[in-house]
Amino acid sequence: MSDYQHILVTRDGELVRITMNRPERRNALSAEHLAELLAAFCVAGTSDAKGIVLAGAGPVFSAGHDFADVAARDLLGVRGLLRLCTELMRTIQTVPQVVVARVHGLATAAGCQLVATCDLAIAAESAGFALPGGKGGWFCHTPAVPVARTVGRKRLMELTLTGDVISARTAEEWGLVNRAVPDDELDNAVDDLMRRATRGSAASKALGKQTIYAQLDRPEQDAYALAIEVMASASQLKGAKEGMAAFLEKRPPSWPD
């Protein structure tokens, strides 16, 4: 877990903590940084950890794409960079673990995209969120994809067209983060949410997470068809059988995973 240049990865009990560690570049997402994040999530995803915390070192969470990297690329190069970024986002949502973003300072453009992509997010009250491309020269097309699915159309349009920063409290109100807390309570709030989100059967929760993402953008009839099949199959999991048995026998469950 020490063979990275741009991130820090640590194991803390049942959790893996992935920390972006380019504070001098405001955790800007160069290709190398994205590749390391992708590798770390892939490794964590195949581990027996129950949760993953994504954080940033230094004064901000992430300032988004590294313009020094982008500006040096031609069309094919930028397309490849954006595909790498998208692969990271998809991996965050397909790993079986619960992923919680720990947000402090600014999360802008692809940094905001990371927050919207994570399963859950806790923000310090000093945090801010923006899709600033709308007031610049490079519109935030890809960051808008998960943000749109989190905050809704009108709020997305305000974020993308104005490029203005919204506060952590506004982000909470809009649904971009689960909770905004005083800065000195950030770590405790992250740990508390992670504890509550990882209790129960790990296998059941992993299947549940992946099915939710699979059905979210489908028409209701198709979403139900998918959910019925998965839920029926999930009833045969060891965790499901133990949970039902414990309920019927009026005893605490003993989870097999």
Summarised one tens digit per residue, pLDDT across range 33-88 is 999 999 999 999 999 999 999 999 999 999 999 999 999 999 999 999 999 999 99
- Looking at residue 3, its pLDDT comes to 85
- What is residue 1's predicted lDDT score, i.e. its pLDDT? 52
Query: Among 198, 7, 216, 32, which Cα is nearest to 99's?
Result: 198
Distance, in Å, from the CA atom of 85 to the CA atom of 80, rounded to the nearest integer, reads 9
Alpha-carbon gap, residue 236 to 228, rounded angstroms: 13
Q: What confidence tier does 257 reach under pLDDT thresholds 50, 70, 90? A: confident
**pLDDT-derived band at 251, boundaries 50, 70, 90:** very high
Backbone φ and ψ for 162, nearest 5 degrees, come out as -85, -35
Query: Tokens standing for 173?
Result: 């109100």
For the stretch 158-180, pLDDT in tens is 999 999 999 999 999 999 999 99
Task: List the structure tokens of 91.
Answer: 């991996």
CA atoms within 13 A on the CB side of 26: 15
Least confident of 36-50, 82-96, 143-157, 234-248: 234-248
pTM to 2 decimals?
0.93
